[in-house]
């Protein structure tokens, strides 16, 4: 499953980059990330840290929380549903939490996100 997430995220980032259009080198320069690292992310060989996602979000035209949702760091949340339209909103990550989390190693970030996901699942089960 992690491999599917890595490949899906990498492909989404590549498609967005090409659509803008930006070369890998241009995105790397704008985000302050090495082109080889970005290439590995796009190919699904590496999974980006929150810090890398934060650096490339703006050049790719994403809001940080939107890119964090695509990456699986945040769960999508359905907004209010009215009779005339359905709105999809991503949940906002508290800026303080996002800043602290971005400073941690990738393994710690994944662990924290995993724990939060389990707690969310447990809370849903209790609420039923």
Bridge partner list, 65: none
Is residue 128 very low, low, confident or very high in pLDDT (cuts 50, 70, 90)?
low
- The domain 2-127 having CATH identifier 2.60.40.10: the answer here is no
pLDDT digits (tens, 9 = 90+) for 3-25: 445 567 888 899 889 888 999 99
pLDDT digits (tens, 9 = 90+) for 37-88: 999 999 989 989 989 999 999 999 888 888 888 787 776 654 333 333 322 3
What confidence score (pLDDT) does residue 78 get?
A: 40
Q: Where are the domains of the chain?
A: 2-127
Report the predicted TM-score, pTM, of the whole model to 2 decimal places. 0.57
What confidence score (pLDDT) does residue 76 get?
A: 60
How far apart CA 71 and CA 46 sit, in angstroms, is 12
How far apart CA 35 and CA 4 sit, in angstroms, is 22
Contact 53, 31 (CB under 8 A): no
Interval 23-42 mean pLDDT = 95
- Output the six-digit token pair for 27: 């995105």
What confidence score (pLDDT) does residue 109 get?
A: 72
How far apart CA 83 and CA 46 sit, in angstroms, is 42
Q: Which one, of 18, 29, 65, 72, lies nearest residue 48 by Cα?
A: 72
Integer angstrom CA distances of residue 43 from 31, 98, 116, 118: 18, 26, 27, 28
Contact 40, 46 (CB under 8 A): yes
pLDDT digits (tens, 9 = 90+) for 82-109: 333 322 333 455 666 666 777 777 777 7
Which runs of consecutive H residues, i.e. helices, occur in the chain?
2-19, 24-31, 35-42, 50-57, 64-71, 95-102, 106-127
Is residue 33 very low, low, confident or very high in pLDDT (cuts 50, 70, 90)?
very high
């Amino acid at each position: 499953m992690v491999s599917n997430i890595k490949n899906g995220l990498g492909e989404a980032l590549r498609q967005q980059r090409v659509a803008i259009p930006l070369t890998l080198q241009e995105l790397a320069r704008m985000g302050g990330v090495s082109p080889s690292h970005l290439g590995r992310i796009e190919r699904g060989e590496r999974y980006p840290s929150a810090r890398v996602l934060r650096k490339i979000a703006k050049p790719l035209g994403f809001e940080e929380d939107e890119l964090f949702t695509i990456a699986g760091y945040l769960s999508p949340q359905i907004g209010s549903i009215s009779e005339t339209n359905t709105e999809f909103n991503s949940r906002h990550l508290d800026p303080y939490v996002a800043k602290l989390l971005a400073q941690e190693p990738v393994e710690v970030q994944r662990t924290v996100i995993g724990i939060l996901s389990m707690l969310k699942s447990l809370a849903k089960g209790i609420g039923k």
